[in-house]
Amino acid sequence: MKTSNSFSISFWLKKTAKKKDGQIPIYVRIRFKGRYSDISVHRSTLEECWCPISGKIDHRVKGASSINKYLDDIHANLLECHRQLYSEGTLITSRAIKLRYLGKDKVFVTLEDLIRYHRTHEISRLEKGTVKNYSATEKYLKSFIKKKFRTPDIGLSFIDYTFVMEFENFLRKCDPINKSQPLNNNGIMKHMERFKKLVNIAHKFGCISQNPFNFYKMKFEEYDSDFLEEHELKKIAGIEIPEAGIGLVRDVFLFACYTGLSYIEVKMLGQKDIVRGIDGEQWINVRRKKTKTPVRVPLLIQAKEILGKYSSYRDKDNGKCLLPVYSNQRSNKHLKTIAKRAHINKHLTFHVARHTFATTITLMNNVPLETVSKLLGHTKLSTTQRYARVVEKKISKDMGRLKELMKLKSDNESTHDHSNVQLRVVR
């Protein structure tokens, strides 16, 4: 029954497990490069009925034909498992062949299996917003599969580089799930990024032999996020807002503008996060929700005033949070109303506050880029450098002052030269 010098399959009787009626269980042994793994075939026979040379039951025994055929099928299946592992380029061992035969080497086989695994084991570690984004990516994947294969699910073996490229093209042409939010290039890349994470899981578990994303490159487009200038901040702070809810969103947004905290960091900010700094003043001491990086930000007077305005809120049953914060969606909706009333023609979202802190509040007031990076909790300076567009504006502003000084100097020199001309003695 040998199949090669290093790989063999043989059947044998496990006599140590002999039953009271004399029946002995039949096992199959997979041997590969000197190591072996055994599997019970869930059949048994008497020792005198077994032929150890052929590894089968004597053909003269009643019922031998059906059992021997069953053993032949097992032999053929094990050969196929070896062939699959070889063609996949997977490390082959006797145990690997055994697990493939038993169907235990792959956690999932289809895309739906993979999605289900991700929901069960991975998604609990993600934020609610991220979970929502994965749901959208799953919907697009299922729509693509239904259109291309005319079936609700496919085997993971179908996911190759061609599949990846065709899915991207599908996203560029299909109708968006949310009609008010059309799919732009960066949105498409985010879906591809989430799909890549799913495929990475399948590859790590050995469910696909080669990761098609090894040949795929994300193509994000650079963009400048809006930020508020000083006069726009004053406009927002100064407008009359009769609605308490909209006024609350305005205050919380301004607090973020003067601290650089993200939405979730403002929402979770508690009394324990306000500490005494090295200068004896109040500082915010938190960890970034996204990267777990520690962030220490001195409280500016404007931020202190907003905390003081809502000082009674922390006494309520609110989980010790300092500010009443609406959902991100509701906050962004009210911010659009605020921008309209303040006559600010910018796409105002809560994230704009963070950019405003980085630009108008810090960089435009001569705070070094390295310091701003620390205040924002960035792990790389290159992340902060995307705010460098503000430096150009600051250069323009500074150069404007320089031009005025140079003009004044030039005028003074002209006057000085003119006086000299008048006083010069001609010989």
Distances from the Cα of 175 to the Cαs of 137, 143, 178, 181, in angstroms?
13, 11, 9, 10
Same domain as 146, residue 73: no
Per DSSP, the chain holds a count of helices (H) and strands (E) of 15, 8
With vertex at residue 420, the alpha carbon angle to CA 417 and CA 422, rounded to the nearest 5 degrees, is 115
Same domain as 279, residue 191: no
Last residue of a domain, one of 49, 79, 102: 102
Which residues are CB-contacts of 217 (< 8 A; sequence separation ≥ 6)? none
Same domain as 149, residue 53: no
Give residue 72's identity as a one-letter amino acid code.
D
pLDDT given for residue 2 in this prediction: 46
| DSSP assignments along 363-410, one per residue | GGGT--HHHHHHHHT-SSHHHHGGGGHHHHHHHHHHHHHHHHHHHHHH
How many domains in the chain? 3
Under the banding of pLDDT at 50, 70 and 90, the label for residue 366 is: confident
pLDDT(1) > 50: no
Residue 53: Cβ within 10 Å count: 5
Among 15-24, 91-100, 156-165, 226-235, the minimum mean pLDDT is found in 91-100
Same domain as 150, residue 44: no
Report CA dihedral (174, 178, 183, 189) to the nearest 10 degrees: -100
Among 163-167, 187-191, 328-332, 390-394, the minimum mean pLDDT is found in 390-394
Distances from the Cα of 389 to the Cαs of 122, 385, 395, 419, in angstroms?
38, 8, 10, 45
Is residue 53 a part of any domain in this protein?
A: yes
Among 40-49, 140-149, 397-406, the minimum mean pLDDT is found in 397-406
Is residue 395 a part of any domain in this protein?
A: no
Is residue 421 a part of any domain in this protein?
A: no
Same domain as 274, residue 189: no
Is residue 14 a part of any domain in this protein?
A: yes
Last residue of a domain, one of 375, 390, 405: 390
331/351 Cα distance (integer angstroms): 11
pLDDT(314) > 90: no
Residue 405: Cβ within 10 Å count: 10
Give residue-wise pLDDT tens across range 93-109.
999 899 889 877 767 78
Helix, strand or coil, per DSSP, at residue 110: strand
Find the mean pLDDT for residues 265-277: 92
Same domain as 384, residue 237: yes
Is residue 352 a part of any domain in this protein?
A: yes
CATH number of the structural domain spanning residue 353:
1.10.443.10
Same domain as 386, residue 239: yes
137 sits in the region (left: phi over 0; alpha: psi -120 to 50; else beta) called alpha
Is residue 94 a part of any domain in this protein?
A: yes
Same domain as 267, residue 177: no
Is residue 422 a part of any domain in this protein?
A: no
Is residue 251 a part of any domain in this protein?
A: yes
pLDDT(260) > 50: yes
Same domain as 149, residue 244: no
Last residue of a domain, one of 45, 70, 102: 102
79/297 Cα distance (integer angstroms): 65
Burial of 279 (0-12, 13-18, 19+ CB in 10 A): exposed
Residues 146, 140 contacting (CB under 8 angstroms) = no
pTM > 0.75: no
Same domain as 251, residue 135: no
Same domain as 320, residue 211: no
| DSSP assignments along 165-227, one per residue | HHHHHHHHHSPPSSTTS---HHHHHHHHHHHHHHHHHHHHTTSSSS-GGGG----PPP-PPP-
Q: Write out the residue range of the structural domain in which residue 143 sits.
A: 111-215
Q: Which residue has the higher pLDDT, 396 or 47?
A: 47
pLDDT(160) > 50: yes
pLDDT given for residue 121 in this prediction: 87
With vertex at residue 266, the alpha carbon angle to CA 378 and CA 365, rounded to the nearest 5 degrees, is 55
427/421 Cα distance (integer angstroms): 14
Using N-to-C axis directions, what is the helix angle for 161-173 and 128-149, rounded to 10°? 100
Same domain as 319, residue 197: no
Q: Which residue has the higher pLDDT, 123 or 416?
A: 123
Phi and psi at 42, nearest 5°, equal 60, 35
